Structure 1
Amino acid sequence: MRPHPLVYTFLALSLSASTALAEDFPGVRQLMSDEQFREAGLHKLSTGEREALDRWLLHYTVGDAQELRRSNQAVQEAEEAVTIEAAIKSPFRGWDGNTVFQLDNGQVWRQRLRGRYFHRSDDNAVVIRKNLFGFWEMTVTSSGKTVGVTRVN
């Protein structure tokens, strides 16, 4: 009995998707600050060991981590508790559809939702949290204006 042709199509799509994901995955070196990388002792790993860790982390992120996010109460509570408080580096005049926000804590965020806002204050403090749907939102504390964002760095 020969497998249905769709089986081959599915396998090809799965392999190409995982290859593309692996190519886009930044690895632990880029995901962590220099301080975090050293504190974890990862600077002691050989290139091969670090690549093996990156492969494991990629597969974990794609599979097991998603299941933990759905099923583990402690993980869900930890995710909900994440709040980032920072200030946008000056000059900050608002957003216009594709704005990149440089924060004073070193993080970089990009506007992910359309919209415009003109900021007229010297107070650039923001709070970033996940909304009910799991997407990040940034709120300018002085005005209460909120925009959807994604983390760049």
Structure 2
Amino acid sequence: MSMRLARLLPLFVSAALIVPALALAADQYVPLQQRMSPAEFKAAGLDKLSADELKNLDDWLSGHGKVITKVVDSSGKPVFYPESGKRTAVTARLKGSFNGFAENMQFPLDNGQVWKQAGSGSYVCPHAENPNVTIKPMMMGNWLMYVEGCGESISVKRVR
């Protein structure tokens, strides 16, 4: 072995040991306090947790792998119900006053979803505050919305 190679051998051995260690470290969980800025940490209310509570949260998060499921259409817009998935009825309360349906009207629900009237047409219904709604899947990917106390139903599409 040449003298030059003999001097480089410790460097190669060190690199061979460090690279796998770095790869292992990349797969390890990084605590929230290190992943978030101080402002983000405070905004999330995590600064109110005791050291033990924060450790328990970090332990739980480290044991539950990050799962990201994002389905978008060809234009990049979110798809809330992929065609291959089973669609189920949505039951919730409409937020605010309800007097009927009108074209392009949006319906915010107490579960965070927002639906929009898909078709044209207007229907007057008895006034209601925060009425119960049921949105049922129909054929061809369509949805039909029923509002408690209103004798009409309309076709809707989810916008959020």
How does the TM-score come out when normalised to structure 1? 0.49
Greater Rg, structure 1 or structure 2? 2
**Structure richer in helix, relative to its length:** 1
